[in-house]
Amino acid sequence: MDAFGATLKSASHLANPSKSVFGGEENGFWGEKITWSFSNRAGACKIGKKLNLEKRGRKIKPGVAYSVLTRENSNETLTIPAPRFERQRANPKNVAAIILGGGAGAQLFPLTSRAATPAVPIGGCYRLIDIPMSNCINSGINKIFVLTQFNSASLNRHISRTYTGNGISFGDGYVEVNTCITVNWFWLRLRRQGKQETGGSRVQQMRLGNLYGYLRRDAKAKDIDNILILSGDHMYRMDYMDFIQNHIDRNADITLSCAPVDESRASSLGLVKIDSRGRVSQFSEKPKGVDKMAMQVDTSIIGLSAEEAVRSPYIASMGVYAFKTDVLLKLLRWRYPTSNDFGSEIIPSAVKEQTVQAYVFRDYWEDIGTIKSFYDANLALTDEFPKFEFYDPKTPFYTSPRFLPPTKIDNCKIKDAIISHGCFLRECVVEHSIVGERSRLDSGVELKDTFMMGADSYQTESEIASLLAQGKVPMGIGSNTKISNCIIDKNARIGRDVTIKNKDGIEEADRSEEGFYIRSGITVVVEKGTIADGTVI
């Protein structure tokens, strides 16, 4: 009597737990069709045990249902359908995003002296907040909270103009800006309802904890299964739902989006170590010296080539987190009631107690939380083939509509530059620079390696002439001024015959009374600052 094997074919494809979290190929038998046969005189039916049944080198793996049957006719094969196992699909309606407005923004000072970090201009016409907001919209996530604390007026104004009633539809979703005052109201409401909190939480944690209490109770926030935590000072384009799907597939309590980084960037980021299945085994926030060296890993395990692994021996957290809602609520309200920072307090502790997985992001990502990284990332946009750009019709970046006319350019030389709307350029040279909206560059101006953020309003020709007649400096850049290696904040006034080159190579300087600072060798002209005629920096 000949024995033969039955073919098993699942009714649907299963999520593969052994699939690489880093986007590798499928491996192992998970809902695939295989066949085999062998000859012996005994038959059996078993489920879930490993048999070394081979045909052309193939083995039946653990956890596979199979049947070994006997029959006189060995040419027949019986097909048995396996039970249907549906993959849980990520639904953007069950996801809420929370964008952290950041603290005082000390590392981006003086750009944050008047505005919250997410409100800082970028790319000529955008604000930093537009990056996570646009990523959410393009991912189909329409329940968004923005938490603000410092200098939030301009950020609130920008969000109101851009994302509430200006052509960007959120369907049944919403965008809410929560300030300290708003969240203090939530805090009082919690106490009135008898929700007792323990510990003396700082402001940041109070905002998060009470907001999630609100999420749990509010009718419009029902059915939120997963929470995205996003930062407002990063430059990247990302499909958050792919990230959430990975989070669900691996049944993680917390998932961190990570990226390989080199030695120069490692000490300013949170670093992780992971095992072969992508589980985070160690997290260290901005380690230095020996502690940083201890976080080195063989990054070839995440798909880097040997050469790339040598260049980028660290895996950094991007500050993009996915939490199961109930897990985050418990962590914030009960387990870590006095914590106020994800990177330095909550995540390192949670790694030891929760299932924390890594999702490795291999596209462009840059933390632009310092003056140097902010400057470099912006000017990189002017390259002929930039690593990141805002031009993508499938996943556009949104910003506030200004309804400005096209820029007017008279007899200028422009090379590798971005010129925003509503500018007036007259007989000037612009090279490897960004010129923001409503900027004015007079004749003889030379702008090189400079990010000029523009102005919030125009001055008429008569107003400019009147100011010049009084010996005052109008907004924009006056004639015959030469500027390089510089950031010019909004509404700055730079006079005629000015030279800004930092020719002495000074790394750090505070000259607020003169309208500028120097950070990492980059001259920063402050918002509404005035540089008098003939000044040399």
Give the up-direction half-sphere exposure of residue 39: CA atoms within 13 A in the CB hemisphere: 6
User: Of 27, 54, 50, 26, whose CA–CA distance to 40 is shortest?
Assistant: 54
Q: Who's near 113: CB < 8 A, 6+ residues apart? A: 151, 526, 527
- 336-361 pLDDT tens trace: 666 667 777 788 888 888 999 999 99
User: In terms of domains, do 155 and 292 share one?
Assistant: yes
In this prediction, residue 262 carries a pLDDT of 92
Structural domains of the chain, count = 3
pTM: 0.79
- Confidence at 48, pLDDT banded by 50, 70, 90: very low
User: In terms of domains, do 187 and 123 share one?
Assistant: yes
User: In terms of domains, do 63 and 131 share one?
Assistant: no
In this prediction, residue 197 carries a pLDDT of 38
Long-range contacts of 405-410 (CB under 8 A, 24+ apart): none
460 vs 411: CA distance, rounded Å: 21
* Range name among 75-84, 120-129, 227-236 with the lowest pLDDT average: 75-84
With tokens 């989070």, the residue in question is: 247
User: Of 427, 476, 426, 434, whose CA–CA distance to 456 is shortest?
Assistant: 476
Whether residue 65 has pLDDT greater than 60: no
In this prediction, residue 136 carries a pLDDT of 96
Sequence length of the chain is 537
Average pLDDT value over all residues in the chain: 80
Phi and psi of 195, rounded to 5°?
A: -85, 100
* Range name among 185-189, 248-252, 361-365, 478-482 with the lowest pLDDT average: 185-189
127 vs 400: CA distance, rounded Å: 9
User: Of 296, 319, 318, whose CA–CA distance to 309 is shortest?
Assistant: 296
Burial tier of 290 (Cβ tally within 10 Å: 0-12, 13-18, 19+): exposed
For the record, the structure tokens of 170 come out as 């959120």
Residue 252 lies inside a defined structural domain of this protein: yes
* Range name among 121-130, 154-163, 307-316, 494-503 with the lowest pLDDT average: 154-163
Q: Who's near 462: CB < 8 A, 6+ residues apart? A: none
- Confidence at 149, pLDDT banded by 50, 70, 90: confident
User: In terms of domains, do 433 and 509 share one?
Assistant: yes
Residue 403 lies inside a defined structural domain of this protein: no
* Range name among 305-309, 329-333, 506-510 with the lowest pLDDT average: 329-333
In this prediction, residue 316 carries a pLDDT of 94
453 vs 435: CA distance, rounded Å: 6
* Range name among 139-153, 176-190, 280-294 with the lowest pLDDT average: 176-190
Three state DSSP letters for 135-171: HHHHHCCCEEEEECCCCCHHHHHHHHHHHCCCCCCCC
What b/e readout covers 322-354, taking b as 16+ CB neighbours within 10 angstroms? bbbbebbbebbbeebbebbebbeebbbebbeeb
| 189/213: higher pLDDT | 213
For the record, the structure tokens of 64 come out as 């596979």
* C-alpha gyration radius of the chain: 29
User: In terms of domains, do 130 and 257 share one?
Assistant: yes
In this prediction, residue 73 carries a pLDDT of 53
Residue 178 lies inside a defined structural domain of this protein: yes
Domain CATH for 338: 3.90.550.10
531 vs 537: CA distance, rounded Å: 10
Full domain range(s) for residue 28: 1-87
- Confidence at 473, pLDDT banded by 50, 70, 90: very high
Cα torsion angle, 207, 213, 219, 224, sign: positive
User: In terms of domains, do 159 and 290 share one?
Assistant: yes
Burial tier of 478 (Cβ tally within 10 Å: 0-12, 13-18, 19+): buried
User: In terms of domains, do 360 and 457 share one?
Assistant: no
Residue 402 lies inside a defined structural domain of this protein: no
User: Of 474, 477, 456, whose CA–CA distance to 464 is shortest?
Assistant: 474
436 vs 445: CA distance, rounded Å: 16
Whether residue 21 has pLDDT greater than 70: no
272 vs 351: CA distance, rounded Å: 10
In this structure, the number of other CB atoms found within 10 A of the CB of residue 248 comes to 20
- 223-268 pLDDT tens trace: 889 999 999 889 999 999 999 999 999 999 999 999 999 998 998 8
456 vs 412: CA distance, rounded Å: 24
Residue 47 lies inside a defined structural domain of this protein: yes
User: In terms of domains, do 185 and 316 share one?
Assistant: yes
Final residue of a structural domain among 365, 380, 395: 380
In this prediction, residue 406 carries a pLDDT of 96
User: In terms of domains, do 375 and 511 share one?
Assistant: no
For the record, the structure tokens of 156 come out as 């609130």
In this structure, the number of other CB atoms found within 10 A of the CB of residue 236 comes to 18
- 496-525 pLDDT tens trace: 999 999 989 999 999 999 999 999 999 999
Say if residues 241 and 139 touch (Cβ distance below 8 Å): yes
- 382-414 pLDDT tens trace: 999 999 999 889 999 999 888 999 999 999 999
- Alpha carbon distance, N-terminus to C-terminus of the chain: 96
- Confidence at 68, pLDDT banded by 50, 70, 90: very low
261 vs 6: CA distance, rounded Å: 49
For the record, the structure tokens of 122 come out as 């970028």
In this prediction, residue 135 carries a pLDDT of 97
* Range name among 123-127, 142-146, 194-198, 297-301 with the lowest pLDDT average: 194-198
For the record, the structure tokens of 301 come out as 């395990």
Whether residue 531 has pLDDT greater than 60: yes
- 409-462 pLDDT tens trace: 999 999 999 999 999 999 999 999 999 999 999 999 999 999 999 999 999 999
User: Of 446, 442, 436, whose CA–CA distance to 410 is shortest?
Assistant: 442
User: In terms of domains, do 449 and 521 share one?
Assistant: yes
Whether residue 530 has pLDDT greater than 70: yes
Q: What separation in angstroms does the CA of 212 have from each of 147, 336, 412, 424?
A: 12, 14, 54, 48
- Give the DSSP H or E segment for 350: helix 347-353
User: In terms of domains, do 328 and 427 share one?
Assistant: no
Rounded average pLDDT over 149-174: 77
In this prediction, residue 148 carries a pLDDT of 78
User: In terms of domains, do 191 and 45 share one?
Assistant: no
105 vs 129: CA distance, rounded Å: 14
Residue 397 lies inside a defined structural domain of this protein: no
CA angle 226, 23, 257 (to 5 degrees): 45
Domain CATH for 415: 2.160.10.10
For the record, the structure tokens of 266 come out as 């490692």
